[in-house]
Amino acid sequence: MTIQHINLSLTNRCTANCVFCPLHRGERNQMDMSLELVHKILDEISSPTFPWRIGRISVGENGDAPLHKNFIDILRLIRQKMPSAKIYLSTNFSQMKPELSKTLLDEGLLDVISVNIDGHDAASYTAQKKLKYDLVIKNLKSFVEQRKVSNQPVKMTVNYLTLREYHDGVMRVIGTMPKKLPAGSEIPYSNEEMIRESLSWLPEDIILDHPACFYWAERESLSQGYLDSENQDRLDCPNITRVIAEAWIAPNGDWYACCLDDNQELV
């Protein structure tokens, strides 16, 4: 094992309630990581005696990091303690107000950022994530504009997985309705072409990515044996090798198994 990446769960709180996220996510430790713990971790991994060289620190694991009241101070601390490490953030952009975007970009506190836009309009997006589409798009546009003004080479990826696609995948592979969708739920239609068209205003250097359909929210159904054996290969985790080179740190300091351990129990 050679640890190269540290994934910090600065908080397991999130204002979204995505259909593909588990029902009980974050219930075990509903909390934010303390500044004292952040200092401790950074002191350890920046020490000359630490056995591995850390090249990347992600601050968006198992929660929406900008909800942390000390979010900016933590990123500044990472830059100070780990100047050669790349800082990654995955966020839903609901908290990414223009003033926050300006601070992040003017101070060069991010290297890579990603967001999920899982629908082409308010109806399809909100049905998937339970967030306000107009607010998220407004914040995203502000960030993109500020990125241009600040002339910061922050890499951006916009991911998308529509509610219709997730629903159809769960029905096909597991044979049940998604856990967060009661029978008879309305599923507004959206597809890849519609999403790409709705985001055609994005600069060409921003990556639009269509990730694989994970069944994170369906673990209970899978544990009860709903999965047909012929579909088992569809659940092979494409990221399983990450556990060899990455550590996931929960808000209370536990090192847990992987990003799909939603309640950070395998420590």
User: Phi-psi bin for 6: left (phi > 0), alpha (psi -120 to 50), beta?
Assistant: beta
Residue extents of the structural domains in the chain: 1-90+238-267, 118-235
Neighbouring C-beta atoms of residue 38, cutoff 10 Å:
21
pLDDT of residue 230: 58
Residue with tokens 């926050």: 100
pLDDT of residue 227: 57
pLDDT of residue 229: 55
Give the global pTM.
Answer: 0.92
pLDDT of residue 19: 93
pLDDT digit of tens for each residue in the chain (267 aa)? 789 999 999 998 999 999 998 777 666 666 899 999 999 999 999 999 999 999 999 998 889 999 999 999 999 999 999 999 999 999 999 999 999 999 999 999 999 999 999 999 999 999 999 999 999 999 999 999 999 999 989 999 999 999 999 999 888 888 888 988 988 888 999 999 999 999 999 999 999 999 887 788 887 777 666 555 555 555 566 677 888 899 999 999 999 887 777 777 888
Largest separation between any pair of C-alpha atoms in the chain? 58
| pLDDT per position as a tens digit, 162-209 | 999 999 988 888 888 898 898 888 899 999 999 999 999 999 999 999
Strand, coil or helix: 106: helix
Rounded to a whole number of angstroms, the CA Rg of the chain reads: 19
Domain 1-90+238-267 falls in which CATH fold? Answer: TIM Barrel (3.20.20)
